[in-house]
Amino acid sequence: MAIIKEKTKIPEQKPEIRKTNFNEVALGYTEELALIEASRCLNCPKPKCVEGCPVEIDIPAFINLIKEKKYIEANQKIKEKNSLPAICGRVCPQEDQCEIKCILGINFEPVGIGRLERFVADYELAQDSMEIPELPPKTGKRVAIIGSGPAGLTAAGELIKQGHDVVVFEALHKCGGVLVYGIPEFRLPKDVVQKEIDYIAQLGVEFRTSKIIGKTLLIDDLKEEFDTIFLGNGAGLPYFMGIPGENLNGVYSANEFLTRANLMKAYLFPEFDTPIKYGEKVAVVGGGNVAMDSARTALRLGAGKVFIVYRRSRTELPAREEEIHHAEEEGINFNLLTNPVEIIGDEDGWVKEIKAIRMKLGEPDSSGRRRPIPIEGSEFSFKVNTVIMAIGQGANPLIAATAPDIETNKWGYFIVDDETQMTNVPGIFAGGDIVTGAATVILAAGAGKKAAKAMHEYLMKKD
């Protein structure tokens, strides 16, 4: 049979319609489309795709199960390595991981591995009841997990399956971490995240929300009640540029803007209590996924014109290509090779314009990307009413400050052993963004899984 050269297209909402609503952009494969796409996989004896996957999912095996129409088994195959397939199938940067390595991709478009992962995960989620595995007898050991993002959820899911009692402490009133407060509904529907959390709860994990470790309870309190602790508190502290005018009304961190919109459902105000104020012209500073999410959220809220302001060129934009493409299709404007130097306000203290400078690219810097250099005398201003800073985020110092015996590096991230994810304090493990700095869902989930394995071994040796 001749090989189909192109990846099977995923049905999507049309740009002119989707930019007016918060529903998911990509609609997912039908069974027919999934079978066509699965048929493109060569079932390579030495599959390179697996090498590209941070958690080494047996990709040809799960695609083979799709070919046999065994969709639940295919999802179970993925779950052997990744507990969050419906989420990762949607937001993993597959184009830089498994798909970039796909052997079919040498001559044609690679297999749509992420789209197939999403298909089988959604298939299982759509069934009335999820298969709950038989759990081993209780060990009597108690585990505390701090944070309910992908790192914490994965660690919790793995440890409950070993027979331990697991309690997750979450600062917010809702679980899911960035999956619920950061990534917007139109990329990752919250009911998909909730179903994955419900599954972990059905396994027996207890979730205690609105518990800020370092304030409501200290690590020392947890040490008394639990045999081991996992720190999965993420990197949620927003960075600002340090330029004049960042304290004006109308300047948000992307974190605040997205939290209002996603977690607090401000896009449904006044049906939900939290408002979100934005002007006719919105500038988003930054070029990563967070910037694209903020810009596309502002557009959907009703902003007239939305600009991405980024200091390098389009080639260096760190966001996923798919998200940049979607943003362009929806009419987001890109002010590239441009860097703000000041935000200027009106007499009432509200943002009225950005003063910026044009940039050119020099030699690559330590990040491997070409260094942006300001072009002298090229300053210019443009009118905006809202500015959203999406230039990155770092470690929130609360836990480190209240548990100073746990070692951190100079950026405040916990230092762990590479093999076990254990910190310098025996029995305290850490993983996800709070160790690596802002990274990806699958890397956080992978760290949670690695830590869970080592925590289980630690618990079994403990007495």
- According to CB under 6 A, which one of 28, 52, 112, 149 is a site residue for ligand FAD? 149
Answer yes or no whether residue 100 interacts with ligand SF4 by CB under 6 A. Answer: no
Write b or e for each residue in 65-97: b if 16 or more Cβ atoms lie within 10 A of its Cβ, otherwise e. bbeeeebebbbbbbbebbbbbbbbbbbbbbeeb
Which residues from 111-140 bind ligand SF4, rule CB under 6 A?
Answer: 111, 113
Answer yes or no whether residue 232 interacts with ligand FAD by CB under 6 A. Answer: yes
CA distance 386 to 279: 6
Q: How many chain residues are in contact with ligand FAD, going by CB under 6 A? A: 41
Answer yes or no whether residue 148 interacts with ligand FAD by CB under 6 A. Answer: yes
**Residue 118 or 352 having the CB closest to ligand FAD:** 118
**Residue 7 or 326 having the CB closest to ligand SF4:** 7
Single-letter amino acid code for the residue at 232: G
Q: Which does residue 102 touch among ligand SF4, ligand FAD, none (CB within 5 to 8 A, set by kind)?
A: ligand SF4
**Residue 103 or 201 having the CB closest to ligand SF4:** 103
Q: Of 18-26, 46-54, 334-342, 351-359, which part binds ligand SF4 (CB under 6 A)?
A: 46-54
Query: Pattern of binders to ligand FAD over 43-82, x per CB under 6 A?
Result: ----------------------------------------
Q: Which does residue 340 touch among ligand SF4, ligand FAD, none (CB within 5 to 8 A, set by kind)?
A: none
Q: Of 46-54, 122-130, 147-155, 189-197, which part binds ligand FAD (CB under 6 A)?
A: 147-155
Classify 331 in phi/psi space as left (phi over 0), alpha (psi -120 to 50) or beta.
left
Residue with tokens 């203290």: 349
Residue with tokens 């970039």: 100
**Residue 23 or 43 having the CB closest to ligand SF4:** 43
Which residues from 192-221 bind ligand FAD, rule CB under 6 A?
Answer: 212-214
Considering just the CA atoms, what is the radius of gyration of the chain in Å? 23
Answer yes or no whether residue 238 interacts with ligand FAD by CB under 6 A. Answer: no
E strand segments, 173-227: 206-208
**Residue 25 or 171 having the CB closest to ligand FAD:** 171
- According to CB under 6 A, which one of 25, 88, 102, 441 is a site residue for ligand SF4? 102
- The SS3 of residue 145 is strand
In 93-138, where does DSSP find H-type helix? 98-101, 113-126
| φ, ψ dihedrals at 353, nearest 5° | -155, 165
**Residue 318 or 345 having the CB closest to ligand FAD:** 318
Residue with tokens 């960042």: 246
Q: According to the 3-state scheme, what is the secondary structure of 307-323?
A: EEECCCCHHHCCCCHHH
Which residues from 421-450 bind ligand FAD, rule CB under 6 A?
Answer: 432-434, 438-442, 444
Looking at the DSSP bridge assignments, the partners of residue 163 are none
**Nearest Cα to Cα of residue 155 among 401, 416, 461, 403:** 416
State the first-to-last Cα distance of the chain, in angstroms, to the nearest integer: 60
Q: Of 14-22, 99-107, 151-159, 359-367, which part binds ligand SF4 (CB under 6 A)?
A: 99-107
CA distance 221 to 248: 40
Answer yes or no whether residue 41 interacts with ligand SF4 by CB under 6 A. Answer: yes
- Give CB contacts under 8 A, 24+ apart, made by 319-324: 319/287, 319/288, 319/289, 319/291, 319/292, 320/93, 320/95, 320/289, 320/292, 321/95, 322/95, 323/187, 323/289, 323/292, 323/293, 324/292
Answer yes or no whether residue 113 interacts with ligand FAD by CB under 6 A. Answer: no
Answer yes or no whether residue 169 interacts with ligand FAD by CB under 6 A. Answer: yes
| φ, ψ dihedrals at 202, nearest 5° | -65, -25
Which residues from 26-45 bind ligand FAD, rule CB under 6 A?
Answer: none
Answer yes or no whether residue 182 interacts with ligand FAD by CB under 6 A. Answer: yes
Q: Of 98-106, 192-200, 260-268, 339-347, which part binds ligand SF4 (CB under 6 A)?
A: 98-106
Cβ atoms of residues 150 and 84 within 8 Å: yes
Cβ atoms of residues 33 and 424 within 8 Å: no
**Residue 92 or 356 having the CB closest to ligand FAD:** 92
Cβ atoms of residues 106 and 67 within 8 Å: no
Q: Which does residue 171 touch among ligand SF4, ligand FAD, none (CB within 5 to 8 A, set by kind)?
A: ligand FAD
Q: Summarize as ranges the residues that interact with ligand SF4 (CB under 6 A).
A: 41-44, 47-49, 59-60, 102-104, 111, 113
